[in-house]
Amino acid sequence: MSWLDDVKWDAQGLVPAIAQEVGSNDVLMFAFMNREALECTAETGQAVYFSRSRQRLWHKGEESGHVQKVHELRLDCDHDVVLLKVEQLGHQPGIACHTGRHSCFFQRLEGGEWKSVEPVLKDPERIYK
């Protein structure tokens, strides 16, 4: 499939992927995809990443139930970064972060310190039970 060949995969065969929430436009998370993950994502309409720590495909939500329904796939000008526009399912409001927060980007630099500024929407012990 040529659209997969259009992506510039890095030396590890990966491409950075940014997940952005449809509607709010919030940036939810950042991960990597290999070719198979991107192909699976396009085919199933659900976000599939490549876990570098586990070295395997990672169907987002496979443990938490917090699946991402993909509305759009975008590629950047250099063909080496993917942007997913997703609907964050499984909880209202959506939880993308393993800490139980809406977004993984919950720490803000304030006065020379990173401070957590977003609430935990669900206890991770209840998410990963």
Instruction: Decide if 47 contacts 86 (C-beta within 8 A).
Output: yes
Residue 16, classed as helix, strand or coil, is strand
Distances, alpha carbon 9 to alpha carbons 18, 53, 89, in Å:
15, 18, 28
- x-marked contacts with a copy of itself along 91-120 as a string, rule CB under 8 A: ------xxx-x--xxxxxx--xxx------
Per-residue contact flags (x/-) with a copy of itself for residues 6 to 25, judged by CB under 8 A: x---------x-x-x---xx
Is 26 a binding residue for a copy of itself by CB under 8 A? The answer is: yes
Rg of the chain in Å (alpha carbons): 15
Which residues bind to a copy of itself, rule: CB under 8 A?
Answer: 1-3, 6, 16, 18, 20, 24-27, 29-30, 42, 72-78, 81, 83, 97-99, 101, 104-109, 112-114
